Chain A
């Protein structure tokens, strides 16, 4: 018997170890990013504390907070997903998963010091600059190389042509990522601008939303087996995506105002995904322990699509642009929808180990914190839309809302610590099992 087959038979959780390691790294950066978020919330209430931070003032910590949430919390679980898809989490290659995770985390650590040191590009979420930029792209290339080797190593595994095509196509797309990030982090290049607000146009919102839909439709294929039948539903979903892609292409990439009906009406086409995504996800056989987070993800998805569209409508966007209202909306996207989605992915990848995310305490701390945060920011944004001095010259109401926001941040931070703690325990248990298993294999 092939040695890694024996490994998997004796130790069924062996392929969950890289996923658990990815989850640990993600949770570590979530806790770090949330810690930075709390610091920011405190600084907005007590700006005099900036004096104690030397040059590491509010603006620099914002870069740390935002980038760690994106490139740490939301990206690292996707590494676990890619390891699974390309079979890198099985057999002898799996020993290299953790080094790749280290490389990613090293990039984030270098990035953190780079941002705190005042190295930035001025582009939100594309703040990779100088040495950190090169290191991060090098880590992305190393990851790609690893996945390519894993795919090659599993060339003899029986798989459908579609699956092979998907993996090879995915690999080709992934190859472009380091170069795209490197290029996009340069000072040139900027997406279409909505001249009425300075923000994204309806077309670019549609484009980025469809990219998310594409990810949503592709994810289940790598995670869960399909239920029999219901092929029509799958086909309809992909057809809808194709139709919307055509619509998006037809809209073009010009600097167009959201007051144009073509912009907000085309964005309304996303509403079709509110029923479609749950229906699509119901065609896959998920682990039973994913239910909590699957429901949360679907709920947040509906909220995101609806509020995303409403916030883009003429009048509404004009009122909320540049206010806390849109900060609240971005929270629907990141802390609500994306977080629930990646936790769903992690629970599915971890299998039985998914219990770490299913404790009621941390779940409600997180969800409660997120909902309260969004409500508070919407209220603040509503007021600010009428009176810019509401934020510029803080008064009692603004300070109360911000103090409550700090509290919600603490709730989310506690939830992230709870998950990190459980994940550490899970990893330790997995490592103990590995040692026992190696002893067992040695004895045979």
Chain B
């Protein structure tokens, strides 16, 4: 490619944006903080050092446009200061030296960012300037999330940032052509900055940076959240890909819907992340929204002052950029970190307030053009609130029992959509889930929870078939207890009393008289044809899937709940047979094991596997009876799993 064409391609703009983001993200936000921690600069000292960085950033963001530096001089000065700061951070800094280096970091970034966006159009090419910005932003974030780089030591990260800044100094910064320095907004977007005035945009960016910084600080300083968002290479690669995709998506939105739509989308993503982070178990989901929101607004944060906003001169553009980065960038960031430090979470009300700030023009427009709609909805909302309040105060509050509360949990979680509570008389249900409960009994429940679909077993008599311990273990980790269960984990219910209430309710689901049903179970035997098709090899696989979790010292359920079992599960493969009589005939032994595998042992934690076909029950029994006849000296779940996989 000829040199002139190469210069026009916009790669320089993309690289400069990427290097600036990498320096800011991995060095200023990460490595420098880690270095300070290593050097023992914490507490008030840390706050002072970070304050110095913010001061440098604000001061030089505002001063840079007033220096009237040549474009290349501003960029190179910023890069040189940033590189120097990153290298100085490798030294054993005292508190005073730390202050100076922090000031230098802020100054370097202030000069670099403002100079860059003021003149960025010179280096982004004329055809796809927004794409260059998005690529630079996306690749910058992507690089920071590459696991090797992300998890590297502070020294390596600082050194890499310094080297990247030094390498960027070598980029030729002469304009590709004078025509490529327009003062008007980019023609790619029909209404690029929308009708938004600068103060509105400033407020919106400040709110977004605030949310971002608060969420970032909270995740970074909460081990539980950090492990759910930034731990593991898969997660980091995913984050990097989301960043890149969202950055490119920002261009798509900018071109079609303009700046307002990008800011709105970024807000929704960040708001979702902040709200999800209120509950640590949602960290996984939050980790999808957070990078998307950050990249969306980060592209706009570069594109708005450099490309989208109209400006009469470079100085005017620079001044706007200076105010934007000083207020939204540095002050917004400081406020967000402060919120994270002091509250440890982003309050839902603050998210709402941020939304109102961002969408104020739209809300005002809506209020003006949809007065009737808002009046009706508002009136109904208020009326409903009054009625609700009246209903609540009239109700006498009788404390509910654990079983009653558990029933409400059952209803709240929508268990009815996967579990029926109805044993159909004269059907295979009776043996599997019985005994049958008369309709009059079912009707006594308010409301009856019969259900209409079985994605899982019927629960009408689950209290007779499963012990409270089994129910609890299963609610915690369904797949750990029952092989291929498709049930979600309800471990979150056990953070408060809901989990134990639900267990109490489920354990209460049983008829008082089980005698006849137990007699039926005791008389059960696998169909003759089923036993003919049973296979010990298949039985070994099934044992690994359904039984070894408890009946093996390294089984997941055994490891977690071993000490809670009323009777510790026997390790049959080691020659502990419990109630089984090794002296019984093979046929008797197999039948006895089959009955236990099918229906469990009443009064213990041993569950049945009522839903399994006779062939599978027979296979388990066959294999286990052979094991009892000839115990294997070294059985383990690992070996069983290996057999299963074979």
Contacts and interface: CB of A to CB of B under 8 A. Distances in A.
A388 B611 contact: yes
Contacts of A389: 611-613, 616
The range of chain B's interface size is: 35 or more
A99 B488 contact: no
A197 B426 CA distance: 10
B412 A120 contact: yes
A100 interface: yes
Interface string A94-105: 011011101100
A387 B613 contact: yes
B422 interface: yes
A393 B416 contact: no
B413 to A, nearest CB: 5
A51 B488 contact: yes
A53 B488 CA distance: 10
B584 to A, nearest CB: 28
B452 A326 contact: yes
A380 B613 CA distance: 17
Contacts of A102: 370, 373, 376-377
Contacts of A70: none
Contact of B282 (A54, A100, A118): A54
B285 A318 contact: no
A318 B420 CA distance: 15
A326 B449 CA distance: 18
B550 to A, nearest CB: 17
Contacts of B479: 47-48
A283 interface: no
B373 A98 contact: yes
Contacts of B448: 190, 193
Interface residues of A, number: 64
Contact of B447 (A118, A121, A135): A121
A55 B493 CA distance: 9
B365 interface: no
Contacts of B426: 196
A130 B439 CA distance: 29
B442 interface: yes
B370 to A, nearest CB: 8
Given A124-B452, A322-B454, A393 B417 contact: no
Contacts of B372: 95-96, 98-99
A130 B387 CA distance: 10
A50 B490 CA distance: 10
Contact of B281 (A55, A60, A61, A318): A55
A210 interface: no
Nearest to B443: A190
Nearest to B436: A195
B487 interface: yes
A26 interface: no
Interface in A36-78: 43-44, 47-48, 50-55, 57-63
A195 B425 contact: yes
B452 A47 contact: no
A203 interface: no
A193 B457 contact: no
A181 B550 CA distance: 48
B455 A106 contact: no
Contacts of B276: 54
B442 A198 contact: yes
B454 A393 contact: no
A200 to B, nearest CB: 10
B420 A198 contact: yes
* Centre residue among A43, A48, A57, A393 by max chain B CB count within 10 A: A393
A35 interface: no
A199 interface: yes
Nearest to B442: A193
A388 B432 CA distance: 10
A122 interface: yes
B524 to A, nearest CB: 16
A37 B418 CA distance: 15
9 contacts: A60-B412, A63-B414, A102-B373, A122-B416, A142-B380, A193-B450, A196-B426, A198-B451, A323-B453
Interface of B: 276, 279, 281-282, 284-285, 288, 370, 372-373, 375-377, 380-381, 383-385, 387-388, 391, 410-418, 420, 422, 424-427, 432, 439, 442-443, 446-458, 479, 483-490, 492, 611-613, 616
Given A99-B376, A100-B376, A388-B457, 15 more contacts: A48-B479, A54-B276, A63-B414, A103-B380, A121-B447, A187-B446, A188-B446, A190-B447, A196-B424, A197-B424, A198-B442, A199-B452, A322-B453, A388-B432, A394-B486
